[in-house]
Amino acid sequence: MEQLGGCLCGAVRYRVTAAPLWVTVCFCQFCQRATGSQGMIEPIFEIGSFDVSDGKARVYTHVSSGSGKNVYVHFCGDCGTKTHLTFERWPDRLGVYSGTFDDPSWFEMSPANTKYIFLDSAARGTMVPAGYNTFARHAAENDGTPITPSVLSEMLHMR
């Protein structure tokens, strides 16, 4: 399988060749600011299943306020679209800004593979479906210890 995506102007194009390992929907302030929206829908891939096929993305290095590690935001220097993220902390993984896929609906988003994180900072209007794993902040401690999720019994609508 192959799925394609790219920036608004088309100068940066990419390809993925495998399904995401999982999907994170994140409402942290970094993701709100970076997307200019309520948060980021972030399918996470093995780094080897992604490549930039056309053009060259620029990179903004952001120091995570949580881990102190670098997060690398890849974006088109012409139109400003952010396409993907890489991480100092997880060098073998990569996150895609899902709205940049040519078909943003191609991958599964089910309770089995999707979690919602940083509900503590979700903005007014944000909705979170029932039945999915949710977390107040991160899904794991800085040392990697998993945090127990909460599963909502009904949809959450931040007011």
Draw the binding track, 75-114, toward Zn ion (x: CB under 5 A; -: no contact). -x-xx-----------------------------------
CA distance 122 to 135: 11
CA distance 118 to 109: 18
Nearer to Zn ion, 26 or 119 (CB): 26
Rounded to the nearest whole angstrom, what is the least distance from the CB of residue 7 to Zn ion in the complex?
3
Rounded to the nearest whole angstrom, what is the least distance from the CB of residue 91 to Zn ion in the complex?
19
Nearer to Zn ion, 28 or 96 (CB): 28
For position 139 contacting Zn ion by CB under 5 A, the verdict is: no
Residues 6+ apart with CB under 8 A from 40: 24, 25, 26, 31, 34, 95, 97, 98
Within residues 17-56, the interface with Zn ion by CB under 5 A covers 26, 28, 30-31
For position 136 contacting Zn ion by CB under 5 A, the verdict is: no
Nearer to Zn ion, 79 or 155 (CB): 79
3-state secondary structure 62-81: EECCCCCCEEEEEECCCCCC
Question: Can you give the binding site for Zn ion, defined by CB under 5 A?
Answer: 7, 9, 11, 26, 28, 30-31, 76, 78-79
